[in-house]
Structure 1
Amino acid sequence: MKVRVFVSLKEGVLDPQGKAVGHALASLGFKNVGDVRISRVVDLDVAAETADEARKEGEAMAKALLANEVIEDFKVEVVA
């Protein structure tokens, strides 16, 4: 099954990459852009019998490696 893990910085955590992208967009003429936050998406193929098992496996991987829970939040979806 395919599992998708969305990882993003928690509210209140500074996002220097997002700031840089925001400034670059403004310099390119995109003046209507406000705050920019950068996130990442990790797609995984997980050998699981059920969607619930696949989601739990994705959550375990996110907690173990994919997300730093001190500064990041994550969400796991089973996509197929």
Structure 2
Amino acid sequence: MRAKVHVTLKNGVLDPQGEAVRHALGALGFDDVGNVRVGKVIELDLTDEDEDAARARVSDMCEKLLANTVIENYRVEIE
């Protein structure tokens, strides 16, 4: 079983990396790009066979390590 965790900054949190990407895109002629937000995807191979148990374990991992829940949101996908 595979889990994908999508981590993004919460609304209202400044995203300097996203701003740098937006600026670079503008310099390359892509002036029609507005706000840019940069996140990360973490892929985990799991030995769990129960999807609900896997989702719960991955959410626990996010709360403890994979996401800074003060400034980041996360979304878990189980495949």
Where on the TM-score scale, by shorter chain, does this alignment land: which range?
over 0.9
Q: Name the counterpart of 1:45.
A: 45
Q: Which stretches of structure 1, 4 residues or more, deviate above 2 A after TM superposition?
A: none
Distance 2:47 2:63 in 1: 18
Whole-Å separation in 2 of the counterparts to 1:39 and 1:51: 25
Once the two structures are aligned, what percentage of the paired residues are identical? Answer: 52
Q: TM-score, normalized by length of structure 1?
A: 0.96
Q: Please report the TM-score for the alignment, with normalisation by the length of structure 2.
A: 0.97
Report how many residues are paired: 79
| Structure 2 residue ranges without an equivalent (≥5) | none
Q: SS of the counterpart of 1:8? A: strand
What corresponds to 1:67 in structure 2? 67
Gaps of 5+ in 1: none
Instruction: Give the superposed CA RMSD.
Output: 0.6
